[in-house]
Amino acid sequence: MTHDPTQYPKTGIGTHQREEIWRSPFMANTHINAHKLRFLKNIIDPIDCHRFVDDFCNIPDLTYEWYLHQYPAGSGITGPSCTDHVNGVLSMTTEGDDDDSGELTQMCECWKLAACYPLYAEIRMQLGIEGAGIARDCDFWFGLVEDHQWFALPTNWVAIHKDDNDVDFEFGTSNGGVSTNMDNLYSPVIWNVWYRLGIHWDGVSTLRYFIMQDGDFPQTILATGTKTDNIPMTAELALGFGIRAGAAMSVWLGVDYVKCCQLRVKEMTSCEDGGRQ
């Protein structure tokens, strides 16, 4: 079948090979083709594939699984807690002062945008207040970061984000402290509306962002694009997300799930040493 390049992540597989899009029930948005069924094995076999998912059906484990960073320390957010929304939803609500914030990042594992090892990460989220309208007065991020926080802008990171006083999703990266940003990717972001955000690393030189309308598979892609500069390929990064109030008010971040999947990284010098495209 013909692949729409604005839809789900895929690398070139040759014109002589049948194309298929495969979405793993565990993680996914990746591809296989008729001549490389091993790729399917790589997605479901932990020998070759590392995957993480949290569906937030219980209160998040802040001792062994997630690291919580708050500003002010210890009182930036209420919770985090698990709500009784359909599917189970993580709730992070700022305490009510301007710049109150909370960020969750993985504690005991990291990810690396290494050559030859594609990665895909995704979140289903919404920003909320008591009311409706355009989401302006808050900061939000989702992605892969160093040092357990993004609001302090660490040296190395990859993130889809929304900034205070802006109403759009943006995509940026930083490598060794040199950062670049792509703004006005999709707007306006609306309070109390679910979005799905995805980040794909092709294992070579390109990151792609996906901003997806919530709904059944296949979701409608609201915005997508690529970025090839300032990619932190040597840094060890933690999957995470965060919320910060942009005014003296309580802002709510709801997260239905986060997930990330990558071919299990074997840190070789080149793809020819055993890495996989």
Q: Is 206 part of any domain?
A: yes
Strand partners, 178: 175
Q: How many residues does the chain have?
A: 277
Task: Put the strands of the sheet holding 178-186 in their side by side order.
Answer: 66-71, 101-106, 238-245, 138-145, 157-162, 169-175, 178-186
Tell me the two tokens of residue 143: 């992605």
Measured CA to CA, the distance from residue 80 to residue 253 in angstroms comes to 10
Number of structural domains the chain divides into: 1
Query: According to the model, what pLDDT value does residue 60 have?
Result: 86
Q: State residue 46's pLDDT score.
A: 59
Whether residue 243 is contained in a domain is answered as yes
Answering whether pTM is above 0.75, one says yes
d(CA 85, CA 104): 20
Residue 32 resides in a domain = no
Kindly report the CATH number assigned to the domain that includes residue 214.
Answer: 2.60.120.200
What residue type is assigned to position 135 of the chain? A
Q: Is residue 276 domain-resident?
A: no
List the chain pLDDT tens, one digit each, 277 residues. 444 444 444 444 444 444 444 444 333 444 444 434 444 454 555 566 788 889 988 888 898 899 999 999 878 898 788 776 777 899 999 998 999 999 999 988 899 999 988 888 999 999 998 777 898 899 999 999 999 999 998 999 999 999 999 999 999 999 999 999 999 999 999 999 999 999 999 888 999 999 998 887 667 889 999 999 999 999 999 999 999 999 999 999 999 999 998 888 776 545 645 444 4
Identify whether 38 is part of a domain.
no
pLDDT at 75: 82
Tokens of 36: 């490389």
Residue 9 confidence (pLDDT): 42
- Asked whether residue 29 is domain-assigned, the answer is no
Give the DSSP H/E element, type plus range, for residue 41: helix 38-44
Closest residue by Cα to residue 110 from 256, 201, 240: 240
Task: Answer whether residue 33 is part of any domain.
Answer: no
First to last CA, the chain: 22
Domain holding 242, by residue range, is 51-264
Exposure class string for 198-212: b at 16+ Cβ within 10 A, else e: bbbbbbeeebbbbbb
The partner residues of 141 in beta bridges, in order of sequence, read 161, 242
